[in-house]
Structure 1
Amino acid sequence: MTSTGTDASPEKTLTLFRRFWPLMRPDRWRLVGAVLLLLVATACELAGVWVFGRITDDVLTTGVLGALVPLAVFWLGAAALGGLAHFVGDWLSAAAAERFVARLRNHTFGHVVRLSPGTVDRMEHGDLVARLTDDVEEVEEIVGSGPVQAVSAALSVLAFAVAALILRWELALLTFAAAPLLWFAARRFSRRIGAVAQDERETNGEVVAVVEESVSAVALVQAYNREELVSGRAAAAGGRWARLRIAQARTSGAYGPLVSVVETVCVLAIVGVGAWEIGAGRLSLGGLLTFAGFVSYLYPPVQSLGQLALGLAAARAAGARITELLDTAPEVTNRPGALRPDVVRGELELRSVGYRYPGAGRPALEDLSVRVPAGRTVVVVGASGAGKSTLTRLLLRFVDPESGQLLLDGVDLRDYSLDALRNYVTLLPQETTILHGTVRENIAFGRPDATDADIVAAATAADADLFIRALSDGYDTVLGDRGRFLSGGQRQRIAIARALLRNSPVLVLDEPTTGLDTDAVRRLLGPLRRLMAGRTTVLITHDLRLATEADHVVVLAGGQVAEQGAPADLHRTDNGHYRALLHRWSVAVAAPSR
């Protein structure tokens, strides 16, 4: 997945703000409250500077200590109020920011899980994780903390600038002369940060992808003695990321010292001109210190605005990556007025179905016609690449056919709503998936309202109850890391219990015995029969032992129906496709025992 380039223009920031603002809208009053409270804190700082000048002229210069008490009380009260306002304002801003991040992450993740499996498989999973974590947090600055910081800093600059103008407008104008230099520097630095930030975000995704892939394949890495290779890949990606982070830090770090130098020059100019004014009797020492205080409070928010421009450059890069992900359209969607019938019989029919994968040279399926009466079982067999797995994707509407129709009870699958269709059709995928959670939660995954009795009944029918009870915490045992401490057969029986509990009228079994030894397959046959009983079943397999469970067998070759019929009839056919597959399968099964 290649991200779009980033644009450092204000128009790009505004476009991203409009895109993501709806997710911040529920917390807009928190942001307003944060701004107002930060303005109160600014007013208290302004009052504190003014009081310090009064103390200098009315107490320190005259030696009249009686005037100190009311001024000190006022100053202390202003400091306490300002500190409280600053604390609550920061808290409100942080609360709004974190709530937005949670919403955006949920919104983006919700979009990803609705994309077709093939679309998600084409993405680098590590990069996808980086977008859902780091990039989501960066985007918040565009609609949350960034606007709060910008408004409060701008109003703070305005307040102290007006105060300085009222006190001594000549000195104020001298101070403001540095503003164009600071604005120009912020623009230049933000452009550089933006250019580096896009590469840094992409490289961060690459680092996560390399680490995720290497950790998930650690057994293969060690078995092939490729530790140095994968370590080198991770080190290379990490080195590129580190160099970009250093470049970011160098550019961001140079801006602060530049502002400090400009600020120092201005303060020295103020002191020099102020001394001249004091000597001429036009300004008191307290007035000079007050003015210097206003200026000292003026430059931090100016610097903050510059740093905000740099931060927004990185946020724009992250926003572009999130936007690209959200703009990835699902391959299948609901038609207007999609059907949601309460009951379906389960009759399946494929009429001249054809499908070609994007960029493929030939169709995966072509002119495929098969009928499965309700409650019957059809076994689909064929060599690798014959189109069996494509059929699974079509039956679940992970993709739609390019030609022909798939019908359920005489209705085109595209006329059903996706959630209703997937309630009618249960998939037992080739790769048995065990989720992080308890055994109970794994079995009830497809039916969250199931009772404990329902879960135990499904596990018993799947021949899983005994081994589950033997686990450390029985049904409450947490199965982490994809259930790697369970055997392949045990994982498959939990998956069968999960499918049994759904009780859907249509069942799609994709290579249910893959990776299991002969004894495990024999033990699995009973649970599979109970699962298929009374359901319309499409059983896709290389294991021709399962063909005896079928009412009808379909042999695929090159994406087309090469042969079909009752198992017994196909078995008696000389030199047919089914007999050829049966011969190759028999040789493959017998080979290990020689």
Structure 2
Amino acid sequence: MHRTPAVSSSSGVSAKDAFRRFWPYTRGFRRWLVVGALLLILSAACEVVAIWLFGDITDRVLAAKDLHAFWTPALIWLEVAVLTGVATFGGSYLTALVGERFLLRLRDAVFAHVQGLSPDFLDNRRLGDLMVRLTGDIEAIEQFVASGVIQTVTAAVSAVFFAGAALYVRWDLALVSFAVAPLFWVAVRNFTSRFRDAAVRERESSGTITSVVEESLSNQALVQAYNRERAERGRLHREGLSWLEAKMAETRLAALYEPLVQVIETVCVLVVLGFGAWELTADRVTLGGLLSFAAYLGYLYPPIQSLGHVNLLASEATASAERIVELMETRPAVAERPAARTRAARRGRVAFDGVTFRYPGADRPALANLSFRAGPEELVLLTGPSGSGKSTITKLLLRFHDPEAGRIRLDGVDIRELSLATLRDTVTVLQQETMLFPCTVRENIAYGRPGATDEQIVAAARAADAHDFITALPDGYETPVGQRGRLLSGGQRQRIAIARAMVRDAPVLILDEPTTGLDASTARRVLEPLRRLMADRTTILITHDLHLAPEADKVVTLRPTSTVDDPQLARLP
């Protein structure tokens, strides 16, 4: 169950770098960002007008006790309120729309990039950590790059509006209030770096928890069979404690920041009200003017606080950006040539010419100077002890990796000259571990050929000797197979996989230990549809079991050392 832990980038990504890196993902809907920001700015402007109307009503209606002067400003205030509501709704809706589209585009891009990486990359990563990167980390980036842009712009413009209105009402009171405002920035600067460190720890711990849950539940039968439930609960609990510590550190900082800002805001308001009361007793300001000024001040500090909050969002986003950038900067093991051929092979002739390959970090080659041929209607059997490189041949033929030396040809063409899609459409692999998706039988068979008709699916199932047991299932072809096909027996899963390979109908077939894990009677039942599957195809059979050797045209025996200089090629009678 142990896997290589997720690697966090140590290079460090600044807020500026994160913004520059991910801002291009807003292309195509930036106009909605602008419209949303303008609507929210209009909403702030309406608030300025509403406060001015409040002060006017206070002085001309309440203080003067003149009811007739009430109706005109009241009607204007109502109209302004309606306009404020419409603008706020429109701005908020567009902000959410842009944010969600940004999130969708970025997640699609990261997922597509991960799909292009070698399967070995995923084998060495904890799946739960990758899931958190594709969800929580991307959401944190969106809150900074997309939503954060509108929040920053509207907060800055709103602060200017309310500060300007306050200066207009009483410039001296405004200067007093502005003198206290820098305290907000001092508070933010003291919290930013610590909040970022806490966010990094929380993201990593969250990924670890998800990995533990995924690993344990996906192996639940083994866990129960070995009475390891308590150990797995303990493992999850320990990781949960690490996450709790990181999360509470983050929560503690956020919880401290909010009341600190509130205290600073209260101090500012009290200072201004005290000075204003002195001005009011000296008749240098009206009651309406003082109340309007206090309202402007009350509306001024939230945008300033919001600007400070953007810094905290940026801290969290940079922590997430490091993890996403680390993924995006991981290069695929192979690169497709710009002018790669897209014409598929017709015959399916496979040739390994002096192929040598060493896995990254390995101290010896997995294959060395390997040469063999496999042609149409031929069965080439690859055998050898564990570690001799049998499964490596499949990875090289599918171009999960490229050989260090030598070349692999398909119908005489170096496979590096073919597009990856064309190459992989030409080769069908029946894996040693039968892989099924948690959907219906029909969908699992049709996975081999998207758009396959019902007739083609049923024909493939019949050829794979699977139709009878499928129709006996509760819902026939519409029966769900469960997680990894566990609602079916091993032989049933294998026959569905054979049907999936048959409906694919590719000229090259690789069988990787097709009968491993099956009892003798089940293996015999699988062999007949396998023979039908191999007919008229170039077939490479990778196996320890030599019961099919008499049917093979060639046997290639590999040795688990770097001395595979002269692989045995034996034509059987």
Same fold (TM over 0.5): yes
Residues 235-246 of structure 1: pairs in structure 2 closer than 5 A: 235-246=237-248
State the 1:63 CA deviation. Answer: 0.5
Q: Match of 1:566?
A: 571
User: Could you tell me how far apart the structure 1 residues matched to 2:366 and 2:10 are?
Assistant: 35
CA offsets 1:247-291 (integer angstroms, 9 cap, x no match) = 111111111211211111111111111122122221101100010
Provide Cα deviations, 1:185-225, integer angstroms capped at 9, x if missing partner. Answer: 11221111011111111111111111111111222222222
Please give the alpha-carbon distance, in whole angstroms, between the structure 2 residues aligned to 1:322 and 1:479. Answer: 34
Partner in structure 2 of residue 303 of structure 1: 305
Deviations 1:97-120 (A, max 9, x none): 111111111111111111111111
Q: CA deviation at 1:344?
A: 2.6
Aligned to 1:584: none
- Please give the TM-score of this superposition, normalised by the length of structure 2: 0.96
* Structure 2 match to 1:196: 198
Which has the larger displacement, 457-466 or 550-559?
550-559
Counterpart of 1:161 in structure 2 is 163
Distance (whole Å) between structure 2 residues aligned to residue 174 and residue 289 of structure 1:
16
Q: Distance in 2 between matches of 1:310 and 1:364?
A: 49
- Partners of 1:265 and 1:22 in 2: CA distance: 42
Deviations 1:483-514 (A, max 9, x none): 11111111111111111111111111111111
- Once residues 121 and 457 of structure 2 are traced to their aligned partners in structure 1, the CA distance between those partners, rounded to angstroms, is 33
**2:383, 2:390 within 8 Å by CA — same for their partners in 1?**
yes
1:38 is displaced (CA, Å) by: 0.6
Match for 2:357: what amino acid?
Y
Contact 1:20 1:143 survives alignment (8 Å): yes
| CA offset digits 1:46-82 (Å, max 9, x no partner) | 1111111111101111100111111211112212221
Letter of the 2:532 counterpart? R
Q: Distance in 2 between matches of 1:509 and 1:343?
A: 19
**Stretch moving more, 167-176 or 407-416:** 407-416
C-alpha deviation, 1:232, in angstroms: 1.4
Kindly provide the amino acid, as one letter, of the partner of residue 386 in structure 2.
S
Question: Could you say what secondary structure the match of 2:348 adopts?
Answer: coil
Residue of structure 2 in register with 1:182 after alignment: 184
Aligned to 1:364: 366
Q: Which amino acid aligns with 1:482?
A: R
2:9 aligned with 1:4, yes or no?
yes
| Partner residue of 2:349 out of 336, 339, 347 | 347
Q: Which range moved further: 377-386 or 267-276?
A: 267-276
Equivalent in the alignment of 2:3: none
Instruction: Describe the superposition over 1:544-583 as per-residue Cα deviations: whole angstroms up to 9, x where unpaired.
Output: 1122331111111125255331245xxxxxxxxxxxxxxx
Query: What does residue 508 of structure 1 align with?
Result: 510
1:60 alignment counterpart: 62
Q: Distance in 1 between matches of 2:33 and 2:456?
A: 48
What displacement does 1:307 show? 1.6
Query: What is the one-letter code of the residue matched to 2:497?
Result: A
- 2:471 equivalent to 1:469: yes
| Letter matched to residue 117 of structure 1 | P
The Cα of 1:371 is off from its aligned counterpart by 1.2
- C-alpha distance in 1, partners of 2:493/2:215? 23
- Call closer, same or farther: CA 1:320–1:379 in 2, change over 3 Å: same
The CA RMSD over aligned residues, in Å, is 1.4
**Partner-residue secondary structure (3-state), 2:383:** strand
Using the alignment, how far apart are the partners of 1:522 and 1:381 within structure 2?
20
Counting only pairs closer than 5 Å after superposition, residues 485-524 of structure 1 correspond to structure 2 as: 485-524=487-526
CA distance in 1, matches of 2:27, 2:551: 57
Determine the C-alpha separation between the residues in 1 that align with 2:549 and 2:286.
102
- Output the amino acid matched with 1:294: Y
Count of aligned residue pairs for this structure pair = 565
8 Å Cα contact 1:459-1:494 kept in structure 2: yes
Q: Residue 163 of structure 2 contacts residue 174 of structure 2 at CA under 8 Å; is this kept in 1? A: yes
Distance in 1 (CA, whole Å) between partners of 2:551 and 2:467 is: 24
1:517 & 1:566 partners in 2: Cα distance? 29
Residue 385 (str. 1) matches residue 387 (str. 2): yes
- Deviation sequence 1:153-196 (CA, Å, 0-9, x none): 01000000011111111110100012222112112211110111
247, 258, 261: which one aligns with 1:259: 261
Matches within 5 A, 1:114-513: 114-513=116-515
SS at structure 2 position matched to 1:354: strand
Contact 2:133 2:324 in 1 (8 A): yes
Cα distance in 2, alignment partners of residues 209 and 279 from structure 1: 67
The 1-side partners of 2:449 and 2:300 are apart by 61
- 1:27 CA displacement: 2.0
CA distance in 1, matches of 2:116, 2:344: 23
In the alignment, is the contact (CA less than 8 A) between 2:37 and 2:150 conserved in 1? yes
Q: CA deviation at 1:7?
A: 4.9
Displacement of 1:323: 1.1
The one-letter code of the counterpart of 1:142 is: F
Q: Which runs of 5+ in 1 are unaligned?
A: 569-594
Shift in Å, 1:342: 4.0
My pick for the range that moved more, 299-308 or 341-350, is 341-350
Secondary structure of the equivalent of 1:115? coil
CA distance in 2, matches of 1:515, 1:145: 52
Distance 1:5 1:32 in 2: 35
Mapped contact 2:344–2:423 kept (Cα < 8 A)? no
CA contact (8 A) 1:430 1:510 kept: yes
Match of 1:576 in 2: none
Cα distance in 2, alignment partners of residues 243 and 417 from structure 1? 49
CA distance in 1 between partners of 2:329 and 2:387 (Å): 32
Distance of 1:263 and 1:349 partners within structure 2: 76
CA contact 2:379–2:539 (8 Å) conserved in 1: yes
Cα distance in 2 for residues equivalent to 1:518 and 1:231: 38
Query: How far did 1:130 drift?
Result: 1.0
**8 Å CA contact retained: 1:6, 1:198:** no
Secondary structure at the aligned position of 2:29 is classed as helix
Give me the whole-angstrom Cα distance separating, in 1, the residues matched to 2:322 and 2:301: 32
Alpha-carbon distance between aligned partners in 2 of 1:223 and 1:371, rounded to the nearest angstrom: 45
Aligned with 2:558: secondary structure?
A: strand
Say which SS state the counterpart of residue 367 (structure 1) adopts.
strand
Q: What do the CA deviations read for 1:312-354 (whole angstroms, capped 9, x no partner)?
A: 2111111111111111110011123212224431111111111
Contact 1:55/1:68 (8 A) holds in 2: yes
Distance 1:298 1:5 in 2: 39
User: Is the contact between residue 6 and residue 195 of structure 1 (CA under 8 Å) also seen in structure 2?
Assistant: no
Deviation, structure 1 residue 358: 1.5
Paired residue type of 2:461: A
- Do 1:6 and 1:316's aligned partners in 2 also have CA atoms closer than 8 Å? no
Instruction: Give the aligned residue type for 1:251.
Output: L
Superposed CA offset, 1:11-43 (max 9, x none): x22222222222222221221121111111111
Q: Closer, same or farther in 2 for the Cα pair 1:6/1:197, shift >3 Å?
A: farther
| CA-to-aligned-CA distance 1:398-429 (integer Å, 9 cap, x gap) | 11111111111121111111110111111111
Structure 2 gaps of 5+ residues are 1-5
Return the letter of the residue paired with 2:410: L
Q: SS state of the match for residue 499, structure 2?
A: helix
TM (norm. structure 1) is 0.93
Q: 2:89 maps to what in 1? A: 87
- Which residue of the partner structure matches residue 545 of structure 2? 543
**Does the CA-based 8 Å contact 2:152-2:307 persist in structure 1?**
yes
CA distance 1:478–1:387, shift in 2 (3 Å):
same
In 2, are the aligned partners of 1:13 and 1:142 still within 8 Å (CA)? no
Contact 1:7 1:194 in 2 (8 A): no
CA distance, structure 2, for counterparts of residue 463 and residue 87 of structure 1: 60
Counterpart contact for 1:6–1:194, Cα < 8 Å: no
